[in-house]
Structure 1
Amino acid sequence: MSIQQNLNKIKASLPINVTLVAVSKTKPVSDLMEAYEAGQHIFGENKIQEMTDKWESMPKDIEWHMIGHVQSNKVKFMSEYVNLVHGVDSIKLLQEINKQAKKHNRTIDCLLQIYIAEEETKFGLDEKELKELLTSNEFKELQNIRIVGLMGMATFTENQSQIEKEFKHLKSIFDNSKSLSIVNCQLSILSMGMSGDYKLAIECGSTMVRIGSSIFGGRN
């Protein structure tokens, strides 16, 4: 099937309140343009340089999401245009995003990454660290970022009940954190679910899914 057919099939299966991020890392601009012309205007990349090259050459009504692990020294290269930074897991990174956003007179939206998997390789905060971060004095000083939601990645396993348990755990943290009244934090997005598990993630309350191979085919 073509990229357009894949997209149409996936979009038809998504509830109206769920946002689709097309994960376009390693894919050529021609593939992204095919998706763009089929109506997909939100793309997720995991390398800042690659995302910046694509941003420079593609239509300016595209929303660019940084979905990879971000190194503080690279933030400046995307701060002019990035729409949403997924996977933020430290006050140090938030301070750098805030500093670079300020230079461009922007407010950059961010998702905080929560550690829900039973794997050492995944990044993220636990529930206690999340609360400590959001209620810290350092966080209150950040006026050029806005925390708009949480994200998390389930364990890479065939065990559906384990994945479901992890997604439900993240949903409960999301629900518990929504009541915190903090100026630069309005939680409305719960980002969980990828090509292999997005339907289960949506059943568990996800409002944003990141799908790559089911749209563009296997990774280059």
Structure 2
Amino acid sequence: MTIVDKAKEVQEKIIAACKRSGRDPQDVQLLPVSKNHPAADIAELYKAGWNNFGENYVQELAKKHDELPADINWYMIGHLQRNKVKYIADYVTMIQSVDSLKLMNTIEKEGRKHDRIIPILIEVNVGEEESKFGVKPTLQDCMELAEASLQLPHVKLRGLMTSAPYYDDPEKTRPIFRRLRELRDEMNNQNDQLKLDVLSMGMTHDYEIAVEEGSTCVRVGTAIFGPRDYSNRQY
């Protein structure tokens, strides 16, 4: 199967998951993630009509941005250090991995510098894994960041993001995704200025469950681009 065929297969499974849960497939974005795969792979999907892509590393994102068509929308989904925000602030479509007020303030500073509003998501460590970034999955912790964002004119909080723990049985991720959705709903109910509408959750192993639980953006890499080769990793 080609990369395009694999992306279409994932899209069909998203549509099926939407049907099972009574959702409109138009409400779910498939975000191909090409970490450690060449720009040529993205170009193949782009030629087939895809123009939204996610990247985990700033250096890799910036390199591919320079090599590929200018109308591609780039989403930063990996851990972001404050000193690297400046390299993507003038074009990034969304930063999905905001986990601190300091990072949010840096994004505001760079957004002001480039005279643009940068959409963001708060990354929530719902599974409370020590190896992962993200704020604690409590209403208090999430609201603290969310309400701070309302004071930043160049930052637009759109919703929440999480990565579930890996289980052999993807069904075990369901409570993780359900909790993020509930957290989003609780936040909207607490402050009607927020209007959070994005839930970025679900990857290759568990995206169908995530869609059933309300995901509006699934970040899929391996199922589209194949296994990653880390032997020549430069990032």
Q: How high is the TM-score relative to the length of structure 1?
A: 0.94
Structure 1 portions without partners, runs of 5+ = none
Question: Structure 1, residues 56-87: CA drift from partner, whole Å, max 9, x if none?
Answer: 12111111000100000000000010001011
- Contact in 1 for aligned 2:29/2:217 (Cα 8 Å): yes
Q: Secondary structure at the match of 1:178?
A: helix
Deviations 1:98-142 (A, max 9, x none): 100111110000000111114211111222211122234xx4431
User: What is aligned with 1:6?
Assistant: 6
- Of 61, 68, 74 in structure 2, the residue corresponding to residue 64 of structure 1 is 74
Task: Name the amino acid aligned to 1:206.
Answer: S
How far apart are 1:8 and its partner, in Å?
1.4
Show the counterpart of 2:42.
Answer: 32
Partner of 1:200: 209
The structure-2 alpha-carbon separation of the partners of 1:160 and 1:73, relative to structure 1 and needing over 3 Å to count, comes to same
- Residue 161 of structure 1: how far off its partner (Å): 4.5
> Does structure 2 retain, via aligned residues, the 8 Å contact 1:171–1:204?
yes
Give CA deviations for 1:23-49 in whole Å, capped at 9, x if unaligned: 011111111100111221111111111
Identity %: 39
Letter in 1 for 2:198: I
Can you give the 5+ residue segments of structure 2 that lack an aligned partner in the other structure?
A: 15-24, 230-235
* DSSP 3-state at the match of 2:198: strand
Q: In structure 2, which of residues 115, 134, 141 is the aligned counterpart of residue 129 of structure 1?
A: 141
Distance 2:154 2:4 in 1: 36
Structure 1 contact 146–186 (Cα < 8 Å) conserved: no
CA distance in 1, matches of 2:119, 2:152: 12
Counterpart of 1:214 (choices 216, 219, 223) is 223
- Aligned match of 1:190 in 191, 199, 211? 199
**Following the alignment from structure 1 to structure 2, what is the Cα–Cα distance between the partners of residues 113 and 46?**
13
Q: How does 1:141-220 map to 2 (within 5 A)?
A: 141-179=151-189, 180-182=191-193, 185-220=194-229
After TM superposition, the structure 1 stretch with the greater mean CA deviation from structure 2, 35-44 or 143-152, is 35-44
The offset of 1:160, in angstroms, is 3.7
Counterpart CA distance in 2 for 1:178 and 1:141 is: 17
Q: Name whichever of 101-110 and 151-160 sits farther off.
A: 151-160
Q: Which residue of 33, 55, 67 maps to 2:65?
A: 55
| Residue identity opposite 2:222 in structure 1 | S
Matched position secondary structure for 1:148: strand
Q: Name the counterpart of 2:31.
A: 21
- TM-fit CA distance, 1:159: 4.1
Aligned partners of 1:134, 1:198: CA distance in 2, in Å?
26
State whether residues 72 and 96 of structure 1, in contact with CA within 8 Å, keep that contact through their aligned partners in structure 2: yes
* Preserved CA contact (<8 Å) 1:89 1:123: yes
Distance 1:213 1:160, change over 3 A: closer
RMSD: 1.3
Distance change >3 Å, CA 162–CA 13, structure 1 → 2 = closer
What secondary structure, in the 3-state scheme, does the structure 2 residue paired with 1:215 have? Answer: helix
